[in-house]
């Protein structure tokens, strides 16, 4: 019987977490340059940005009337909000030019050229390997279509997207979608991802699904990546290990 593999994208097939590192550091330095001695220590600025960005996931985007979630506008806006809140705390009026520069710095996190360099080791080899076994592959990712599509294009240019029978980009992953995937498979089903809560737990709610977790600590899972192997969850170090354990799946 053919197997079904539902792959996550960010930090599973393509590294993503450190795309935000340089913009955060550049933003912190701009804030320091702008505010001088009144600026908080750089470590505090970075911690504020982390807290604000996590908070803004659930905040309403005034332009859309919907929560920011993982939309493209959230991160650049979080850099601006960090600056605004610092200015408020020191009783200074934010400078519009600085706000614009911070927003533009945030957009650098979505430079599509990075995605070609960030394809995970063994990702292409694994996809070819599974296709030779005639397994069904699905890409299921949460995020902004404008961003995720550029990552998918990078994989397409490497010649592997034709092996995926479906691509789903959503605001959040849910058990109902995994249940729909399961109806297309007569064999075992596996969700492959880097986050237990986001990628594995929704799949385990569907009978016949198991998880393949390759943990990566991201901005919203700091300190939450530890998970022990269970009967229906394999915890691996890298994508290559899926090929190693394939006979047991």
Please name the helix (run of DSSP H) or strand (run of DSSP E) that holds residue 209, with its range, or none. strand 209-213
> What is the maximal distance between C-alpha atoms in the chain?
66
Q: What is the predicted pLDDT for the residue at 223?
A: 67
CATH code that applies to domain 4-16+118-248? 3.40.50.1000
Contact between 234 and 244 (Cβ < 8 Å): no
CA-based angle 18:16:51, to the nearest 5? 60
Note the pLDDT tens digit of each residue in 104-163.
Answer: 999 999 999 999 999 999 999 999 999 999 999 999 999 999 999 999 999 999 999 999
Taking the domains of the chain in order of start, what are their residue ranges?
Answer: 4-16+118-248, 18-111
Written as six digits, the tokens of 203 are 């799949």
Note the pLDDT tens digit of each residue in 178-201.
Answer: 999 999 888 899 999 999 999 999
Cα separation of 99 and 82, whole Å? 10
Phi, psi of 189 (to 5 degrees): -120, 140
Instruction: State how beta strands 189-193 and 209-213 pair.
Output: parallel
Residues in the chain: 249
What average pLDDT is seen over the chain?
94
Written as six digits, the tokens of 7 are 């792959």
Is it the case that residue 217 has pLDDT exceeding 90?
no
Buried b (16+ CB within 10 A) or exposed e, 170-179: eeebeeebbb
Torsion on CA atoms 221, 61, 203, 110, rounded to nearest 10: -60
């Amino acid at each position: 019987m053919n197997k079904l593999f539902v792959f996550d994208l960010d930090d599973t097939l393509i590294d993503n977490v450190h795309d935000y590192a340089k913009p955060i550091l550049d933003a912190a330095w701009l804030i320091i340059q702008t505010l001088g001695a009144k600026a908080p220590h750089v470590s505090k600025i970075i911690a504020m940005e982390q807290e604000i960005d996590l908070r803004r996931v659930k905040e309403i985007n005034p332009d859309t009337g919907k929560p920011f979630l993982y939309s493209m506008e959230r991160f650049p806006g979080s850099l601006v909000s960090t600056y605004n809140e610092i200015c408020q705390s020191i009783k200074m009026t934010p400078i519009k030019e600085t706000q614009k520069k911070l927003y533009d710095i945030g957009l650098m996190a979505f430079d599509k050229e990075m995605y070609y360099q960030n394809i995970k080791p063994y990702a292409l080899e694994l996809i070819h390997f599974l296709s030779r076994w005639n397994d069904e592959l699905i890409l299921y990712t949460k995020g902004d279509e404008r961003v995720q599509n550029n990552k998918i294009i990078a994989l397409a240019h490497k010649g592997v997207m034709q092996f995926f029978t479906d691509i789903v980009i959503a605001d959040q992953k849910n058990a109902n979608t995994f249940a729909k995937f399961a109806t297309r498979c007569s064999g075992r089903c596996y969700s492959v991802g880097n986050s237990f809560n986001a990628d594995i737990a929704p799949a385990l709610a569907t009978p016949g699904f198991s998880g393949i977790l390759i943990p990566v600590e991201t901005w919203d899972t700091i300190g939450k990546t530890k998970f022990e192997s269970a009967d229906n969850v394999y915890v691996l170090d890298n994508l290559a290990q899926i090929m190693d354990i394939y006979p047991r799946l």
